[in-house]
Amino acid sequence: MSSKDRREFLKSAAAITAAAVTTGIVASEAHAQNAGGYASKNFKAEDTIKKGEWRSSGADGTGIPLTELKRPLNILVFGAHPDDAELKAGGVAAKWAAKGHKVKLVSVTNGDMGYWKNTGIPLAARRKREQARASEILGTKCEVLDIGDGTLEPTLENRLKLIRLIREWKADIVMGHRPTDYQADHRYTGVLMQDTAFLCAVPGILPEIPVVPNPVYLYLYDYFQRPYPFNPDIAVSIDSVVEKKTNAVDVMDSQFYEGGCMSSDATLPKTPEDAKKRRAEIRRLLAGRNEQCADRFRAALIKWYGKEKGEKIKNAEAFEICEYGRKVTEAEIRFLFPFD
């Protein structure tokens, strides 16, 4: 895309924002036809939504609170690599799935550099199989994008890929890394996720795919302190599904039992007894992640579960609300999340 096209796109986005604020309509036909080349000349707003019916404060275009939804939720979790979404949100994903909600875990890169022994297409295929097995255990769906490990950039092309996924899944909740996470693919996954906010509801962008109301956006937890630490707006007990989560991650041998991207032959078990010990040790370390999350964000658990129950929770996952998404009330959060 040329610089001129980018400028035209930004001008169009500003115009659409003004229209949404003053009328409650996401976009008009006139705005869509000026969307910097993103909409066709024959595009009409009613091709994607009925004018005036969708409002940013509503769910499903009705203006009702999220607590009044009468259908299963659609949740989309973006992880940078085929194991990140499972590690950070596998527990809550399993709880949602068990309640009949639709959950999809997306790896934004294919993980083809994530193993010390081999790389490229064979590794990408292996990690895709590992993620598929993990999703079978969790009860979720999964997808791996064909973007090379370590090469992710916050380009317009990649932004549109994520917008497409959000719309096709009709996502109510979108999760991903914070843009301040430790690794470049993680950071850019967070940037790309942020950049889909609002734009996933603009008809002139990818006009062939029906828009969705701006979802609730959430960051996956981390422990990095700069430029600001993670804020646990939501913390969920995963005690009831911690074994299921561990079993799901357990099938990703390339990343845990075989050492991932920075290991060597020295780490591989040499005997069946060594293999048994290593598997037990890895499972203990995986469980420790969930316990650390519960201990660090104990105050948030007490907020959502009360003092008596919150103090007893051993395993948890936590999430920070991204202010670019739909604004939610405490009642809506309690409705959306499996706090049982």
Angle at 257 between CA 190 and CA 266, to 5 degrees: 115
Q: Residue 6: which pLDDT band, with cuts at 50, 70 and 90?
A: low
Residue 32 belongs to some domain of the structure = no
Residue 1 within a domain: no
Whether the predicted pLDDT of 40 surpasses 90: no
Cα 311 versus chain centre, distance: 28
Is residue 65 included in any domain, yes or no? no
Residue 40: inside a domain: no
Q: Which CATH number characterizes residue 206's domain?
A: 3.40.50.10320
179 found inside a domain: yes
Share above pLDDT 90 across residues of the chain, in percent, rounded to a whole number = 64
- Residue 261: which pLDDT band, with cuts at 50, 70 and 90? low
Those residues with Cβ within 8 angstroms of residue 286's Cβ, 6 or more apart along the chain or in another chain: 246, 249, 250, 256
Would you list the DSSP string of 165-208?
HHHHHT-SEEEE--TTSSSHHHHHHHHHHHHHTTGGG-TTSSTT
Residue 207 lies in a domain: yes
- Give a yes or no: residue 318 inside a domain: yes
Whole-structure pTM value = 0.82
> Which carries the bigger pLDDT value, residue 32 or residue 74?
74
Residue 213 CA, distance from chain mean position: 17
For residue range 272-300, list pLDDT tens digits in order: 888 788 888 888 998 899 999 999 999 99
Say if 43 falls within a structural domain: no
Which residue range(s) make up the domain with 310?
15-27+70-336
Q: Which two tokens stand for residue 136?
A: 């079978």
pLDDT at 147: 97
pLDDT tens, position by position, 210-230? 999 999 999 999 999 999 999
Number of domains in the chain: 1
